[in-house]
Structure 1
Amino acid sequence: MAELQMAWARQPNDRQWKQPEGEDPRTLYQMMMTSVGRFGSNQCFGYIPEKGMPRTHITYDEFGSLSTAVGQRLADLGISTGDRVALILDNSVEWASLAYGANAIGAAYTAMYTHQHGAEWAYILNDSTPSLLAVANTGVLDKLVENMPKEASAWPSAGILLMGEDPANQLPPEGIPVHEWTEFVALGRSSENTFEVADDPFALNTLIYTSGTTGNPKGVMLSNWNTLSNILCVQSAFKVYVGDKNAAFLPWAHSFGSTFDLHWMIRCGVHINLISDLTRIADECIEIKPAVLLAVPRVWNKFYDRVNSQFASSPVKRFLSGKARKHAQKRINKAGVECDAVPAKGVLDKFYDKLIWSKVRA
């Protein structure tokens, strides 16, 4: 069995966090490309293209190449340092490559949810003034057209980037082009131009908007270093190993989701597996077998209830699981911890661990 390897050494407790130092990455794109250099042939993303299809995987090399092609195409469309790119997409390889591609050329990204009200999209687009907007499908574009002003001046000047196989139904105003994803990437790959890789750690990286529960959404400006300092300070604080799998479903349009379920995983060389159906998180996790899972309490409760229902399915299982709980609780109490795993000790403890808890972990 191959030895587990952590990607990076833990940061010194007394280091300063005001700015990058030494070999720290200065931008998210630089961070990602460092991971490409180290983990190139490792799996980077796993995703289900369409319902009923098997999970597809791409390597770090492939993702780095895709993100660079996206950055080149953005640059060829006239997008540059200080500009913004907006996304109305669910978590996807396309989402990630647009975020890193924009970062590569010094542009910032702002992400919205596909289930948001169209009026909120219109407000955020007016506030963030993106040069390009990527949308998940024709349904999102139709809803956008219904809620946006009719004047071309109110729309992103470099146009709309449409995902999916279906052609546009409702169109933006005349003069606003609609780009198709496959062609967009192909043009970036075949471009004879090259862009200058951005290098400012304090440049705007993303605009994160609140849900707008107390009025219109509020935009929070985060620099490269705002995000990177969070990633670097936890990069080896937890036992996340190169090649570990995670199951990613927290929305990347949220700061926590993008920082830790995307960027931190990339930094650590993790194989990011996208959950395709939020109603089947537990089932997809059984298939993925993640070593890393970031979730909110409601999701943990679902896992807890599922395990408990299996324990309660027969008198024998209830008895054995009760005994296993008592032995596990004793060793955890003795270790004086609350959230860390404690290896089984003693004959009975190891017996129950193998009989009960090994099946839960599997």
Structure 2
Amino acid sequence: MTADNLNNVRVIPDLLVINENVRPSKVAYRQFNDKSKTWIGVTWKEFADMVRSWRKAFTAFGLKKGDHAAVLLPNSITATACDLSILSQGMVPVPLHAVDTPSSSAFILNNSEAKILFVPRTLRWNAMLNVQKEYPYLELVVTTGNDAESASPDSPVPVVNLSDWLKQSEKTELEDVSIDPNDLAAIVYTSGTTGKPKGVMLTHDNVLSNVKSFSQVIDVGPDDVFLSFLPFSHTFERTVTFYFTLFLGAEVGFARSVLKLAEDLKVIRPTIFVAVPRVFEQFHNRIKVSLKSKEALLPHCRSSRNDRLEKVLPPQRFSRPFFVCFLALFFHLADAGKPHRPADSRRFRRAPENCKCRGRCIKQCHRPLLQCHGR
């Protein structure tokens, strides 16, 4: 993103406008289509058109700036269109945890005062009804699975299919919405492991402050490809793989599931993969198991100390480990609560340009986070 474009960014929806104007035919998102059994993609222009159609539906239903919308959807093109259309209307998305209990989801739905709920199947809504009957603020439930007829007869609000909801508003005229950087961009709830979930209120300025800082310390751009694996209710994933890629104009591929992650990595071929440490531990363990079965073929790879993986996979062979930069980014985000100061945003610096790993290693100012392997 150029300096001129950066100066024009005040709120998150501005990023979509820039991408549609600068790279309309570039692929923005990719996902697997269960019906055709193929990977499909949408360009920035096509995605912007999707967002406009969702905005028309919100307008036709009577939702206005400041209203809250609960989103219980798996990572997908639909989920990103839903979230960005909510923001473009000046509304506030409330992401629900996909693996959360029905009782916890019901609590968040009422506590956030959400007026509309998006679910992948009516089964999720029915499960919430089984534990909580009253939803005083909710006005509509939209199912992206187009199975509204399966809704419980006890539902206190209408349940409609996404396709029908969008079709009914095709002729609705869009109106400009004035959004301020200090307006809410999300209410993200904690997991509730130490009590009732608590909502964290994030503004557009909060989010953009992070993504602008990332661009100063991480060497990525619109040609990079991200793999989306963690749920968007996860603040790290939401900030990096959704809003940061929107800032970059980079492509995002959505993984199908944990079981098919290895296959999806081969298809999407990401340059950046955001995940929690446990995922990389599993990768490491599977590599070690595979290597042990081939010890007879690789006797020189054994180590007298700890059978160290570095003996088999020397670090200098990886000119750009795609998880390194975001491991550093994780610690950067760990400084939550501190006021954003541009002087502090360069906490991590690149290694010297003459190092063999092309200066892409990231070091901490006082002690190495990851040693440069270009000696």
- TM category, shorter: 0.7 to 0.9
Equivalent residue for 1:319, pick from 300, 303, 317: 300
- Residue of structure 2 in register with 1:289 after alignment: 269
1:62 correspondence with 2:46 = yes
- Residue of structure 2 in register with 1:44 after alignment: 28
- Residue of structure 2 in register with 1:229 after alignment: 209
The letter for the 1-side match of 2:152 is L
Equivalent residue for 2:200, pick from 220, 238, 241: 220
Distance in 2 between residues matched to 1:326 and 1:148, nearest whole Å: 55
- Residue of structure 1 in register with 2:147 after alignment: 166
- Residue of structure 2 in register with 1:350 after alignment: none
Contact 2:64/2:89 (<8 A) preserved: yes
Distance in 2 between residues matched to 1:314 and 1:215, nearest whole Å: 49
From the two aligned structures, give the one with the greater helix fraction. 1
1:145 correspondence with 2:129 = yes
Where do 5+ consecutive residues of structure 1 fail to align?
1-6, 12-20, 346-362
Equivalent residue for 1:177, pick from 149, 155, 158: 158
Equivalent residue for 2:316, pick from 328, 335, 342: 328
Change (3 A) 1:344 1:198: closer
Change (3 A) 1:344 1:116: closer
Relative CO higher for 1 or 2, CA cutoff 8 Å, sep ≥ 6? 1
The letter for the 2-side match of 1:160 is V
Change (3 A) 1:168 1:309: same
Change (3 A) 1:242 1:318: farther
- Residue of structure 2 in register with 1:348 after alignment: none
Change (3 A) 1:86 1:318: farther
Change (3 A) 1:228 1:327: closer
Structure 1 range deviating more: 235-244 or 91-100: 235-244
Contact 1:8/1:268 (<8 A) preserved: no
Change (3 A) 1:303 1:322: closer
Secondary structure of 2:172 counterpart: coil
Secondary structure of 2:260 counterpart: helix
- Residue of structure 2 in register with 1:87 after alignment: 71
Contact 2:65/2:177 (<8 A) preserved: no
Distance in 2 between residues matched to 1:322 and 1:111, nearest whole Å: 40
- Residue of structure 2 in register with 1:122 after alignment: 106
Contact 1:252/1:258 (<8 A) preserved: yes
Structure 1 range deviating more: 269-278 or 320-329: 320-329
Contact 1:245/1:291 (<8 A) preserved: yes
- Residue of structure 1 in register with 2:89 after alignment: 105
1:308 correspondence with 2:292 = no
The letter for the 1-side match of 2:136 is A
Give per-residue Cα distances to partners, 1:69-125, cap 9 Å, x unaligned. 112211221111111110111111121111111111110000112321111111111
- Residue 66 (structure 1) shift: 0.7
Secondary structure of 2:148 counterpart: coil
Change (3 A) 1:140 1:344: closer
Contact 1:66/1:185 (<8 A) preserved: no
- Residue of structure 1 in register with 2:244 after alignment: 264
Give per-residue Cα distances to partners, 1:207-230, cap 9 Å, x unaligned. 000000111000011111111110
- Residue 306 (structure 1) shift: 3.1
Change (3 A) 1:75 1:317: farther
Q: CA RMSD of the aligned region, Å?
A: 3.0
Change (3 A) 1:318 1:203: farther
Contact 1:27/1:198 (<8 A) preserved: no
Give per-residue Cα distances to partners, 1:17-60, cap 9 Å, x unaligned. xxxx9724122111222122222111111111328812111111
Change (3 A) 1:64 1:38: same
- Residue 192 (structure 1) shift: 3.3
Per the normalisation by structure 2, the TM-score is 0.77
- Residue 199 (structure 1) shift: 2.5
Where do 5+ consecutive residues of structure 2 fail to align?
302-308, 329-349, 359-375
Equivalent residue for 1:34, pick from 14, 18, 23: 18
Distance in 2 between residues matched to 1:147 and 1:262, nearest whole Å: 32
The total of aligned residue pairs comes to 320
Distance in 1 between residues matched to 2:121 and 2:315, nearest whole Å: 52
Distance in 1 between residues matched to 2:289 and 2:194, nearest whole Å: 39
Contact 2:60/2:172 (<8 A) preserved: no
- Residue of structure 2 in register with 1:252 after alignment: 232
The letter for the 1-side match of 2:25 is S
- Residue 264 (structure 1) shift: 0.5
- Residue of structure 1 in register with 2:304 after alignment: none
- Residue 146 (structure 1) shift: 1.2
- Residue of structure 1 in register with 2:119 after alignment: 135
Give per-residue Cα distances to partners, 1:319-361, cap 9 Å, x unaligned. 36876656839x99xxxx998796369xxxxxxxxxxxxxxxx
The letter for the 1-side match of 2:288 is N
- Residue of structure 1 in register with 2:177 after alignment: 197
- Residue of structure 1 in register with 2:167 after alignment: 186
1:278 correspondence with 2:225 = no
- Residue 161 (structure 1) shift: 0.6
Distance in 2 between residues matched to 1:343 and 1:318, nearest whole Å: 28
